[in-house]
Copies of this chain bind each other. A is one copy, B any other.
Amino acid sequence: MVSCKIDQELNELSIRTGNACVGFNLRKTSRLLMRLYDQAFKPIGLKGTQFSLLMAVAGYKDATIGELSQPLCMERSTLSRNIAVLQKKGLVTIEEGEDRRQQRIRITDSGVSVLQEALPLWQGVQESLAGELGEERITNLLKDLHNLSQLLKEK
């Protein structure tokens, strides 16, 4: 039957496509890796994503939602909600700027101290990855990700 042939083709195609698809593989690896970070940060009640965001808040001082959204490549509405989670945990404050449309985000003392606890945990994951995958492969991967995201940012 023709339908069986089409099915068979689709069957093989789907496997090939899954292997070749940058999006699928990026996302799949992301799922696996984020679970590892989440485990590592569990003792201090943080998620991997929250660690990243808190680090960004620490790095870009008194930034607005819009300013933060650019280096993070995150939708402002998404960022707004993610910041609210950190605020609820008492790790950042949100204050109205001179321009009263803007909200300026600042890390709290509690946020700094959580970061100080988090850093060695992050480093543990990072070193474990470097150890098992090799420093060079990590560097390579980071370079490739950087190239790809640069390219995508221009769209």
> A interface vs B, CB < 8 Å?
6-7, 10-11, 13-15, 17-37, 48-49, 52, 55-56, 58-59, 61, 71-74, 112, 115, 119, 122, 125-126, 129, 132-133, 137-138, 140-142, 144-149, 151-153, 155
Nearest-CB residue, chain B, relative to A17: B55
How far, in angstroms, from A22 to B52 measured CA to CA in the complex? 11
How far, in angstroms, from A34 to B30 measured CA to CA in the complex? 12
Do B61 and A138 touch (CB < 8 A)? no
Do B122 and A21 touch (CB < 8 A)? yes
Q: What's the minimum C-beta distance from A131 to chain B, rounded to whole angstroms?
A: 10
Contacts known (A24-B52, A25-B142); A148 close to B33, Cβ less than 8 A = yes
Do A22 and B144 touch (CB < 8 A)? no
Q: Closest 9 A-B residue pairs measured CB to CB?
A: A14-B59, A32-B152, A14-B55, A141-B144, A24-B52, A14-B58, A29-B149, A25-B145, A29-B145
Q: Chain A binding site: helix, strand, loop or mixed by DSSP?
A: helix
Do A146 and B25 touch (CB < 8 A)? yes
Give 11 A-B contacts (CB < 8 Å), ordered by A residue.
A14-B56, A18-B71, A26-B26, A27-B34, A28-B72, A28-B73, A28-B74, A132-B151, A133-B148, A140-B140, A141-B145
